[in-house]
Protein backbone atom coordinates (compact mmCIF):
# COMPACT_ATOMS: atom_id res chain seq x y z
CA UNK A 1 0.00 0.00 0.00
CA UNK A 2 1.17 3.52 -0.85
CA UNK A 3 -0.17 6.48 1.14
CA UNK A 4 0.21 10.20 0.55
CA UNK A 5 0.18 12.40 3.67
CA UNK A 6 -0.57 16.06 2.98
CA UNK A 7 0.84 18.16 5.80
CA UNK A 8 4.01 17.05 7.57
CA UNK A 9 3.68 18.96 10.81
CA UNK A 10 3.25 17.25 14.18
CA UNK A 11 0.10 15.33 13.19
CA UNK A 12 1.38 14.32 9.76
CA UNK A 13 4.57 12.93 11.28
CA UNK A 14 2.54 11.19 13.96
CA UNK A 15 0.31 9.49 11.40
CA UNK A 16 3.36 8.39 9.41
CA UNK A 17 4.98 6.87 12.50
CA UNK A 18 1.80 5.05 13.53
CA UNK A 19 1.20 3.76 9.99
CA UNK A 20 4.68 2.23 9.93
CA UNK A 21 3.96 0.69 13.32
CA UNK A 22 0.81 -0.95 11.94
CA UNK A 23 2.55 -2.28 8.84
CA UNK A 24 6.20 -1.49 8.02
CA UNK A 25 5.55 -2.54 4.42
CA UNK A 26 3.28 0.45 3.80
CA UNK A 27 5.05 3.10 1.73
CA UNK A 28 4.50 6.64 3.00
CA UNK A 29 4.96 9.74 0.85
CA UNK A 30 4.31 13.34 1.81
CA UNK A 31 3.37 16.83 0.68
CA UNK A 32 4.30 20.05 2.44
CA UNK A 33 4.96 23.57 1.19
CA UNK A 34 7.68 24.00 3.83
CA UNK A 35 11.16 23.06 2.61
CA UNK A 36 12.23 22.53 6.23
CA UNK A 37 9.47 20.00 6.82
CA UNK A 38 10.26 18.22 3.58
CA UNK A 39 13.88 17.92 4.73
CA UNK A 40 12.75 16.58 8.10
CA UNK A 41 10.51 14.08 6.31
CA UNK A 42 13.42 12.91 4.15
CA UNK A 43 15.40 12.24 7.32
CA UNK A 44 12.54 9.94 8.36
CA UNK A 45 12.67 8.13 5.03
CA UNK A 46 9.64 9.89 3.55
CA UNK A 47 9.83 11.22 0.00
CA UNK A 48 8.07 14.58 0.13
CA UNK A 49 6.81 16.97 -2.54
CA UNK A 50 6.04 20.69 -2.47
CA UNK A 51 2.52 20.26 -3.84
CA UNK A 52 -0.22 17.70 -4.45
CA UNK A 53 -0.06 18.02 -8.23
CA UNK A 54 3.67 17.26 -8.15
CA UNK A 55 3.08 14.22 -5.91
CA UNK A 56 0.28 12.87 -8.11
CA UNK A 57 2.43 13.31 -11.21
CA UNK A 58 5.26 11.38 -9.56
CA UNK A 59 3.33 8.24 -8.66
CA UNK A 60 0.12 6.44 -7.81
CA UNK A 61 -1.27 6.09 -4.29
CA UNK A 62 -3.94 4.02 -2.57
CA UNK A 63 -5.19 6.90 -0.41
CA UNK A 64 -4.46 10.41 0.77
CA UNK A 65 -4.38 11.67 4.37
CA UNK A 66 -5.09 15.33 5.12
CA UNK A 67 -3.08 16.51 8.14
CA UNK A 68 -2.94 20.26 7.59
CA UNK A 69 -4.66 23.10 9.47
CA UNK A 70 -8.47 22.55 9.45
CA UNK A 71 -9.21 25.75 7.54
CA UNK A 72 -7.31 24.34 4.54
CA UNK A 73 -8.96 20.91 4.44
CA UNK A 74 -11.79 21.54 1.99
CA UNK A 75 -9.59 22.43 -0.99
CA UNK A 76 -7.07 19.66 -0.28
CA UNK A 77 -9.79 17.02 0.07
CA UNK A 78 -11.29 18.19 -3.22
CA UNK A 79 -7.94 17.98 -5.03
CA UNK A 80 -7.25 14.47 -3.71
CA UNK A 81 -10.72 13.24 -4.66
CA UNK A 82 -10.32 14.72 -8.13
CA UNK A 83 -7.03 12.81 -8.31
CA UNK A 84 -8.95 9.59 -7.69
CA UNK A 85 -7.79 9.00 -4.11
CA UNK A 86 -9.83 7.83 -1.12
CA UNK A 87 -9.38 10.40 1.63
CA UNK A 88 -8.71 10.26 5.37
CA UNK A 89 -8.96 13.71 6.94
CA UNK A 90 -8.22 15.01 10.40
CA UNK A 91 -10.82 16.98 12.34
CA UNK A 92 -12.30 19.71 10.13
CA UNK A 93 -13.96 22.05 12.68
CA UNK A 94 -15.65 23.95 9.85
CA UNK A 95 -18.07 22.65 7.22
CA UNK A 96 -16.43 24.43 4.27
CA UNK A 97 -16.86 22.32 1.13
CA UNK A 98 -18.79 19.54 2.87
CA UNK A 99 -21.63 19.29 0.34
CA UNK A 100 -19.31 19.49 -2.67
CA UNK A 101 -16.79 16.98 -1.35
CA UNK A 102 -19.42 14.50 -0.19
CA UNK A 103 -21.01 14.69 -3.65
CA UNK A 104 -17.63 14.28 -5.40
CA UNK A 105 -16.69 11.27 -3.26
CA UNK A 106 -20.05 9.65 -4.02
CA UNK A 107 -19.76 10.43 -7.73
CA UNK A 108 -16.28 8.89 -7.92
CA UNK A 109 -17.11 5.97 -5.61
CA UNK A 110 -14.35 6.93 -3.17
CA UNK A 111 -14.32 6.54 0.64
CA UNK A 112 -14.32 9.84 2.54
CA UNK A 113 -13.14 9.06 6.07
CA UNK A 114 -13.30 11.64 8.86
CA UNK A 115 -11.18 11.34 12.00
CA UNK A 116 -12.97 11.37 15.36
CA UNK A 117 -10.42 9.77 17.63
CA UNK A 118 -12.45 9.86 20.85
CA UNK A 119 -14.83 7.34 19.29
CA UNK A 120 -11.93 4.87 19.31
CA UNK A 121 -11.01 5.31 22.96
CA UNK A 122 -11.62 2.19 25.03
CA UNK A 123 -12.95 4.33 27.86
CA UNK A 124 -15.65 6.08 25.80
CA UNK A 125 -16.74 2.76 24.33
CA UNK A 126 -17.06 1.29 27.83
CA UNK A 127 -19.11 4.30 28.96
CA UNK A 128 -21.39 3.94 25.93
CA UNK A 129 -21.88 0.21 26.58
CA UNK A 130 -22.74 0.73 30.24
CA UNK A 131 -25.09 3.64 29.52
CA UNK A 132 -26.93 1.74 26.78
CA UNK A 133 -27.30 -1.35 28.99
CA UNK A 134 -28.62 0.80 31.83
CA UNK A 135 -31.09 2.63 29.58
CA UNK A 136 -32.28 -0.68 28.10
CA UNK A 137 -33.37 -1.62 31.65
CA UNK A 138 -35.34 1.60 31.99
CA UNK A 139 -32.61 3.66 33.67
CA UNK A 140 -32.13 7.39 33.15
CA UNK A 141 -28.84 9.28 33.39
CA UNK A 142 -27.31 12.73 33.37
CA UNK A 143 -23.65 13.73 33.12
CA UNK A 144 -21.13 16.44 33.95
CA UNK A 145 -17.98 16.90 31.86
CA UNK A 146 -15.10 19.35 32.18
CA UNK A 147 -12.37 19.52 29.54
CA UNK A 148 -9.65 22.12 29.78
CA UNK A 149 -5.98 22.83 29.14
CA UNK A 150 -3.97 26.03 29.02
CA UNK A 151 -3.66 26.93 25.34
CA UNK A 152 0.14 27.59 25.28
CA UNK A 153 0.66 24.05 26.60
CA UNK A 154 -1.10 22.39 23.64
CA UNK A 155 2.00 22.60 21.44
CA UNK A 156 4.82 23.71 23.75
CA UNK A 157 7.25 23.65 20.82
CA UNK A 158 5.45 26.50 19.00
CA UNK A 159 3.54 29.70 19.77
CA UNK A 160 -0.22 29.09 19.99
CA UNK A 161 -0.77 32.14 17.78
CA UNK A 162 1.15 30.44 14.97
CA UNK A 163 -1.05 27.38 14.50
CA UNK A 164 -4.73 26.87 13.88
CA UNK A 165 -5.98 27.27 17.48
CA UNK A 166 -5.03 30.94 17.21
CA UNK A 167 -7.65 31.39 14.47
CA UNK A 168 -11.16 32.30 15.67
CA UNK A 169 -12.84 29.88 13.24
CA UNK A 170 -10.74 26.94 14.46
CA UNK A 171 -9.93 28.09 17.99
CA UNK A 172 -8.98 25.99 20.99
CA UNK A 173 -12.41 25.73 22.63
CA UNK A 174 -13.99 24.97 19.26
CA UNK A 175 -11.50 22.13 18.82
CA UNK A 176 -12.48 20.73 22.23
CA UNK A 177 -16.11 20.75 21.11
CA UNK A 178 -15.14 19.15 17.79
CA UNK A 179 -13.23 16.39 19.57
CA UNK A 180 -15.69 15.58 22.34
CA UNK A 181 -19.20 16.29 21.04
CA UNK A 182 -19.08 13.37 18.55
CA UNK A 183 -18.60 10.74 21.26
CA UNK A 184 -21.15 12.41 23.53
CA UNK A 185 -23.72 12.36 20.72
CA UNK A 186 -22.77 8.77 19.87
CA UNK A 187 -23.20 7.77 23.52
CA UNK A 188 -26.22 9.79 24.63
CA UNK A 189 -28.03 10.49 21.36
CA UNK A 190 -29.07 13.52 19.34
CA UNK A 191 -28.93 16.92 21.03
CA UNK A 192 -32.31 18.65 20.88
CA UNK A 193 -31.67 21.58 23.21
CA UNK A 194 -28.66 23.71 24.09
CA UNK A 195 -27.90 26.71 26.29
CA UNK A 196 -24.43 28.24 26.56
CA UNK A 197 -22.69 30.83 28.74
CA UNK A 198 -19.29 32.03 27.55
CA UNK A 199 -16.60 34.36 28.79
CA UNK A 200 -12.99 35.44 28.35
CA UNK A 201 -11.23 35.17 31.69
CA UNK A 202 -7.58 35.04 30.62
CA UNK A 203 -4.99 37.34 29.08
CA UNK A 204 -4.50 34.99 26.12
CA UNK A 205 -4.08 36.83 22.83
CA UNK A 206 -7.06 35.23 21.08
CA UNK A 207 -10.21 36.87 19.74
CA UNK A 208 -12.64 34.24 21.02
CA UNK A 209 -14.15 33.23 24.36
CA UNK A 210 -11.80 31.01 26.35
CA UNK A 211 -14.35 29.48 28.74
CA UNK A 212 -17.78 27.93 28.09
CA UNK A 213 -20.49 26.39 30.26
CA UNK A 214 -22.99 24.48 28.14
CA UNK A 215 -26.19 22.63 29.04
CA UNK A 216 -27.15 19.93 26.56
CA UNK A 217 -30.50 18.14 26.36
CA UNK A 218 -30.58 14.90 24.39
CA UNK A 219 -33.59 13.46 22.57
CA UNK A 220 -34.30 10.85 25.27
CA UNK A 221 -34.25 13.45 28.07
CA UNK A 222 -30.64 12.93 29.17
CA UNK A 223 -29.06 16.20 30.26
CA UNK A 224 -25.40 17.08 30.28
CA UNK A 225 -23.35 19.96 31.62
CA UNK A 226 -20.24 20.57 29.53
CA UNK A 227 -17.50 22.96 30.68
CA UNK A 228 -14.76 23.63 28.12
CA UNK A 229 -11.85 26.02 28.42
CA UNK A 230 -8.32 26.81 27.31
CA UNK A 231 -7.23 28.39 30.59
CA UNK A 232 -6.92 25.46 33.05
CA UNK A 233 -3.26 25.30 34.18
CA UNK A 234 -3.55 21.52 34.54
CA UNK A 235 -4.88 19.53 31.60
CA UNK A 236 -8.21 18.09 32.76
CA UNK A 237 -10.80 15.76 31.30
CA UNK A 238 -13.17 14.95 34.16
CA UNK A 239 -16.35 13.06 33.30
CA UNK A 240 -19.09 11.82 35.60
CA UNK A 241 -22.28 10.03 34.55
CA UNK A 242 -24.93 9.18 37.12
CA UNK A 243 -28.37 7.67 37.51
CA UNK A 244 -30.24 5.57 40.06
CA UNK A 245 -28.06 2.47 39.88
CA UNK A 246 -25.22 3.74 37.69
CA UNK A 247 -22.28 5.98 38.53
CA UNK A 248 -19.27 6.26 36.20
CA UNK A 249 -16.15 8.37 36.68
CA UNK A 250 -13.43 9.11 34.13
CA UNK A 251 -10.43 11.39 34.56
CA UNK A 252 -9.47 11.30 30.91
CA UNK A 253 -6.78 8.62 30.79
CA UNK A 254 -6.80 4.81 30.68
CA UNK A 255 -5.70 4.51 34.31
CA UNK A 256 -8.61 6.56 35.65
CA UNK A 257 -11.92 5.00 34.57
CA UNK A 258 -14.12 3.85 37.44
CA UNK A 259 -17.49 2.12 37.80
CA UNK A 260 -19.01 2.67 41.25
CA UNK A 261 -20.09 -0.48 43.08
CA UNK A 262 -22.97 0.55 45.33
CA UNK A 263 -22.89 -2.69 47.32
CA UNK A 264 -19.30 -2.18 48.47
CA UNK A 265 -19.35 1.60 48.35
CA UNK A 266 -16.16 1.61 46.27
CA UNK A 267 -15.14 2.92 42.86
CA UNK A 268 -14.08 -0.13 40.85
CA UNK A 269 -11.21 0.52 38.39
CA UNK A 270 -11.98 -0.46 34.80
CA UNK A 271 -9.12 -1.44 32.49
CA UNK A 272 -9.99 -1.05 28.83
CA UNK A 273 -6.43 -1.53 27.52
CA UNK A 274 -4.04 -4.42 28.07
CA UNK A 275 -1.34 -1.81 27.42
CA UNK A 276 -1.26 1.68 25.98
CA UNK A 277 1.21 4.07 24.36
CA UNK A 278 1.57 7.71 25.34
CA UNK A 279 3.52 10.44 23.54
CA UNK A 280 5.28 12.42 26.28
CA UNK A 281 4.93 15.68 24.32
CA UNK A 282 1.19 15.68 25.05
CA UNK A 283 -0.92 15.53 28.22
CA UNK A 284 -1.62 12.12 29.75
CA UNK A 285 -5.20 12.40 28.47
CA UNK A 286 -3.95 11.53 24.97
CA UNK A 287 -3.03 7.95 24.10
CA UNK A 288 -1.77 6.64 20.78
CA UNK A 289 -3.88 3.46 20.78
CA UNK A 290 -6.98 5.31 19.61
CA UNK A 291 -5.09 6.83 16.67
CA UNK A 292 -3.85 3.37 15.71
CA UNK A 293 -7.33 1.85 15.96
CA UNK A 294 -8.72 4.69 13.85
CA UNK A 295 -6.15 4.13 11.10
CA UNK A 296 -6.83 0.38 11.24
CA UNK A 297 -10.52 1.12 10.73
CA UNK A 298 -9.63 3.31 7.73
CA UNK A 299 -7.57 0.54 6.15
CA UNK A 300 -10.45 -1.89 6.66
CA UNK A 301 -12.81 0.63 5.02
CA UNK A 302 -10.47 0.78 2.02
CA UNK A 303 -10.72 -3.02 1.79
CA UNK A 304 -14.50 -2.93 2.04
CA UNK A 305 -14.46 -4.88 5.33
CA UNK A 306 -15.72 -2.22 7.78
CA UNK A 307 -17.71 1.01 8.00
CA UNK A 308 -16.24 4.19 9.49
CA UNK A 309 -17.40 5.19 12.97
CA UNK A 310 -17.88 8.83 11.98
CA UNK A 311 -18.92 10.60 8.79
CA UNK A 312 -19.18 14.00 7.16
CA UNK A 313 -22.98 13.78 7.45
CA UNK A 314 -22.82 13.29 11.22
CA UNK A 315 -20.06 15.85 11.59
CA UNK A 316 -22.05 18.53 9.81
CA UNK A 317 -24.74 18.16 12.49
CA UNK A 318 -22.11 18.54 15.23
CA UNK A 319 -20.64 21.61 13.55
CA UNK A 320 -24.16 23.09 13.41
CA UNK A 321 -24.41 22.41 17.16
CA UNK A 322 -21.06 24.12 17.77
CA UNK A 323 -22.30 27.15 15.83
CA UNK A 324 -25.33 27.34 18.15
CA UNK A 325 -23.09 27.09 21.22
CA UNK A 326 -20.80 29.85 19.98
CA UNK A 327 -23.60 32.17 18.80
Percent of the chain, pLDDT > 90? 91
Residue 278 has pLDDT above 70, yes or no: no
Q: What is the pLDDT of residue 198?
A: 97
**Cβ–Cβ contacts within 10 Å for residue 320, how many?**
11
Closest to 174 in 3D by CA, of 236, 252, 239, 91 = 91
How big is the CA angle at 98 (ends 94 and 99), to the nearest 5 degrees? 145
Which residues lie below 8 Å from residue 264, measured CB to CB, with a gap of 6+? none
CA 299 to chain centre: 18
Q: How far apart are CA 141 and CA 187, in angstroms?
A: 11
Conformation bin of residue 204: beta by default, left when phi > 0, alpha when psi is -120 to 50 = beta
Q: What is the pLDDT of residue 273?
A: 84
Phi, psi angles (nearest 5°) of residue 236: -125, 145
Q: How many H-runs (helices) and E-runs (strands) does the chain carry?
A: 9, 14
Q: How far apart are CA 124 and CA 130, in angstroms?
A: 10
User: What would the pLDDT profile of 174-218 be if each residue is shown by its tens digit?
Assistant: 999 999 999 999 999 999 999 999 999 999 999 999 999 999 999
Average pLDDT over all residues of the chain: 95
Question: Beta-strand (E) ranges in the chain?
Answer: 2-6, 27-31, 47-49, 63-66, 87-89, 112-114, 141-148, 191-199, 211-218, 223-229, 236-243, 246-250, 257-261, 266-269
User: What would the pLDDT profile of 152-173 be if each residue is shown by its tens digit?
Assistant: 999 988 899 988 998 999 999 9
Say if residues 266 and 275 touch (Cβ distance below 8 Å). no
Say if residues 223 and 217 touch (Cβ distance below 8 Å). yes
Please report how many Cα atoms fall inside a 13 Å half-sphere around the Cα of residue 88, on the Cβ side.
31
Average pLDDT over residues 293-309: 97
Q: Please, what are the domains in the chain?
A: 2-114 (3.40.50.720), 118-285+311-326 (3.30.360.10)
Q: How far apart are CA 105 and CA 84, in angstroms?
A: 9
DSSP string, 123-185: HHHHHHHHHHHHHHTT--EEEEEEEE--GGGTSTTS-GGGSGGGSGGG-HHHHHHHHHHHHHH
Q: How far apart are CA 35 and CA 62, in angstroms?
A: 25
Does residue 113 sit in helix, strand or coil?
strand
Average pLDDT over residues 12-37: 95
Closest to 252 in 3D by CA, of 127, 161, 76 = 127
Say if residues 197 and 115 touch (Cβ distance below 8 Å). no
Q: How far apart are CA 149 and CA 10, in angstroms?
A: 18
Average pLDDT over residues 63-89: 97
**Cβ–Cβ contacts within 10 Å for residue 163, how many?**
15
Does residue 213 sit in helix, strand or coil?
strand
Say if residues 241 and 131 touch (Cβ distance below 8 Å). yes
Percent of the chain, pLDDT > 70? 96
Residue 254 has pLDDT above 70, yes or no: yes
Q: What is the pLDDT of residue 274?
A: 75
Amino acid sequence: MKLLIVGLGSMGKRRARLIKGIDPAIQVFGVDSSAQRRTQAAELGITAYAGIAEALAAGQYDAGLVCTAPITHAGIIHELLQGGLPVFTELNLVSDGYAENMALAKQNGLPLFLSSTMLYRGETQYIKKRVQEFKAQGGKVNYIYHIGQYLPDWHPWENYKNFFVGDKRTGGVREIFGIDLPWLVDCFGEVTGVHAEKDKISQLEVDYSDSYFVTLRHADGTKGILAADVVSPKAVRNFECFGEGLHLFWEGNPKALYDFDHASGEKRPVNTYASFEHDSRYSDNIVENAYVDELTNFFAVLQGKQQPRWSFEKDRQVIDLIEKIEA
